[in-house]
Chains A and B, each alone.
Chain A
Amino acid sequence: MTTKTKARANPERAPLFVGVDVGSSRTKVAVLDARKNLIGYDIRKSGTDFTATADAGLEASLTMAGGDPQDIAYAVSTGYGRKNVAYSKETKTEIGCHAKGCYHYFPEAITIIDIGGQDNKIIKLDEAGRRLGFKMNRKCAAGTGAFLEEMSARLDIPLEEMDGLARNSREMVKLGSFCTVFSATEVLENIRGGKRIEDIVKGLFFSVIKRVLEMDSLSEKVVMTGGVVAHNPFLVEMTAFQIGRSVLVPRHPQLTGAVGAALYALDLGQEV
């Protein structure tokens, strides 16, 4: 889904700072120049060989940035597979990286809601960008990207069509269950009951939002990130409606963790 323009190699751009976010579902790579500009990035399925995926992601991002591996001053990895990245010199948690990445785009006191493939996070930052606290969802995948993927498979609807369907809902179907399996049963009951698929999908979005909002309270400014947010702008609109205020979304919501890791790389690279 990423469209890339190949930037011209520019010797002035070196050194490069790389952040890699190896999530359970997607691997994201971000390349920054010394002025913190995002000049290359890549998003691809993590697959089973994290090391190879991270390598391929780096190669693609460097091509986009017009850089070479030897231009890399420092690389930091994060995410589920953070220990599997061969070229990373340091690891940071995804909580830290999302915080840093979001604060880069919105330097103020914020609450970050990240809806990832297999976990959700809520991170609170003060006005200086320091973490005040964070929450990760519990063991269950309900309310995460995995939940929507599972439902799209069961309903036989391509994942990328869900946003459009939800947007066309006229009367949302309310799903009451916590659990992915029970929700699936509820969905089937609703299909049998003749409910419109659009209304069911909106109901699924709403249940994701509910799961997230019950994790923690929110401060005034709310930022949303993650793959689910990147692909489902309507879910963001629904969240804004639900909390009664607008929601900020960075330009590349799926890349925030990788950008945060690259910003750590910049800090650490400049220290050495």
Chain B
Amino acid sequence: MAQEKEVVIRRLKTAKVMNQFMADYYYELDEASKSDNKKVAWCTSVGPAEILRGMGFYTYFPETHSAMLGATRMAVDLIPKANAVGYSPDICSYLTADIGAFLEGITPLSRAFPGIERVPKPDVLVYNTNQCRDVQDWFAWYAQRYDVPLVGVETYRNVPEVTPAHITSIARQMENIVEPLEKVAGRKLDMDTLKEAVALSRECSDLWEKCLAAAAAVPSPLTFFDGTTLMGPAVVGRGTQKAIDAYKLLLEELEERVAQGIGAIGEERYRLYWEGMPVWGRLSMHSKLFAGLNANVIASTYCSSWIFTALDPAEPFESMARAYTELFIVRSDDYKEKYIQDKLEFFKCDGIIYHDAKTCPNNTNCRYGMPQRLEKKTGIPSLVINGDLNDLRLLSDEQTKTNVEAFIEQLEERK
């Protein structure tokens, strides 16, 4: 029988630091939620977190919780619970898994962080539809359940170029949410704290960007699969010094690996780009599958979604408006195509994998001919795999495996 070969994946030491960061973060939130005088805001992952910091809110990001539901595979049993109360299996499985978990009264936080029994209760919910409309529906459900205010920013979609008109409109919307937030916070927005949060977010973003860029080295010190968990602090901790400290350590380790020529996997013969969301419940399986074929998935659009280069403390609202509108997910296909093309070149990729995530059209970019157009332009082969971020009922592991193996065979023929 053909021998299965041993798969070598070199874990980063700093992953432990990131895990500790997340533990501290959740314990702090838990404590805030139990106290009488601390306020908790729920925020979408690319929502205006800095404003919340400017008012002293403890900020919780439900998407990170949903990703945990996916990674622990708890989502599979929870999604149907939300389906049963009217949330279709065809919509965002972050939403359905999260609402399902709430209905069942369970959370992966209690498994990961003993002592935490439930997600922190919100005093207010804040969304930005820059990523999708689902977040608004999702938060609206909780606003009703908890009977707390819901405020948000409604963004443009499919933006080719971010214009001053976009910025003005979004900046005004952001300013408009300040007053209702102040009411909940019981205090005024402190402009100095806001500016500081914007400055810290920017620094965190710059460091995270450098960490991701380290993957341009051959061999790459990093994999996309590592990136999906290492990015935790960039999502939940942006605007804090602690996140910056964590990324400084990560960058140091990555640079050390690059200097020593140490790659993240045993042998890196093929370098791949991942477009779309991870399949959370299959992170480990996928990372082994690729590494076992000597292929390193080194870069992705997804992990780069928490880079906010436009943030500028001198102009907090305008720069937030720009940073949160400039994002890939908000942009037109022309922009997206050019963006991916540049990444393929920068990271010296041999191929690109598109994840067609059934329940997230917003992070799925292979449904309007992009793979074909990009392949024609760059000559870089592509593969589309069908799956989902959280709903494992929507994928076939065997098909994914065969597709990926066949794709690597195809790349091998070209070498």
Contacts and interface: CB of A to CB of B under 8 A. Distances in A.
A160 B4 CA distance: 39
Interface string B113-157: 000000000000000000000000000000000000000000000
Given A96-B409, A131-B409, A139-B386, A89 B396 contact: no
Interface in A47-104: 77, 80, 82-96
B406 A95 contact: yes
A93 B409 contact: yes
B409 A88 contact: no
Contacts of B403: 136
Interface residues of A, number: 26
Contacts of A92: 409
What is the predominant secondary structure among interface residues of chain B facing chain A?
helix
Kindly state the interface size class of chain B when it binds its partner.
Answer: 20 to 34
A87 B406 CA distance: 22
Contact of B2 (A91, A94, A119, A131): A91
A83 B2 contact: yes
B36 interface: no
A76 to B, nearest CB: 8
Interface string A111-132: 0000000010000000000110
A86 to B, nearest CB: 5
A83 B1 contact: yes
B386 A94 contact: no
A133 interface: yes
A130 B381 CA distance: 12
Interface string B1-38: 11010000000000000000000000000000000000
B413 interface: yes
Contact of A95 (B384, B402, B414): B402
A134 B396 contact: no
Interface string B396-415: 10110011011001100110
B283 interface: no
A138 interface: yes
B402 A93 contact: yes
Nearest to B4: A83
Nearest to B404: A93
B395 interface: yes
Contacts of A94: 402, 406
Nearest to B386: A138
Contacts of A77: 2
B1 A86 contact: yes
Contacts of B1: 83-88
Contacts of A136: 399, 402-403
B391 to A, nearest CB: 12
Contacts of B396: 139
A191 B324 CA distance: 57
B394 interface: yes
Contacts of B405: 93
Contacts of B384: 135
A84 B395 CA distance: 23
A134 B399 contact: no
Nearest to B411: A131
Contacts of B375: 133
Nearest to B381: A133
Contacts of A82: 2
Nearest to B382: A133
Nearest to A139: B396
Contacts of B395: 139
A230 B127 CA distance: 57
Given A130-B414, A133-B381, A134-B410, A139 B394 contact: yes
Contacts of B402: 93-95, 136
Nearest to A98: B406
A94 B406 CA distance: 8
A88 B1 CA distance: 5
Contacts of B410: 95, 131, 133-134
A90 B405 CA distance: 13
Contacts of B398: 80
A237 to B, nearest CB: 29
A93 B406 contact: yes
A102 B198 CA distance: 60
A90 B384 CA distance: 26
A89 B2 contact: yes
A68 B195 CA distance: 80
A95 B386 contact: no
Contacts of A90: 2
A12 B409 CA distance: 33
A96 B386 contact: no
Contacts of A95: 402, 406, 409-410
B409 A119 contact: no
A92 B399 CA distance: 14
B413 A131 contact: yes
B415 to A, nearest CB: 11
Contacts of A84: 1
A85 B1 CA distance: 6
A85 B2 CA distance: 8
Interface in B344-390: 375, 381-382, 384, 386
Contacts of B394: 139
A68 B375 CA distance: 47
Contacts of A89: 2
| Residue picked from B2, B384, B414, most chain A C-beta under 10 Å | B2
A119 B399 contact: yes
A131 B403 CA distance: 13
Contacts of B409: 92-93, 95-96, 131
A83 B375 CA distance: 32
22 contacts: A77-B2, A80-B398, A82-B2, A83-B1, A83-B2, A86-B1, A88-B1, A93-B402, A93-B406, A93-B409, A95-B409, A96-B409, A130-B414, A131-B413, A133-B381, A133-B410, A134-B406, A135-B384, A136-B399, A136-B403, A138-B386, A139-B396
Interface of B: 1-2, 4, 375, 381-382, 384, 386, 394-396, 398-399, 402-403, 405-406, 409-410, 413-414
Q: What 3 pairs across the A-B complex have the smallest Cβ distances? A: A95-B406, A93-B406, A131-B410
Given A95-B410, A96-B406, 8 more contacts: A87-B1, A88-B2, A92-B409, A131-B409, A133-B410, A134-B406, A139-B395, A139-B399
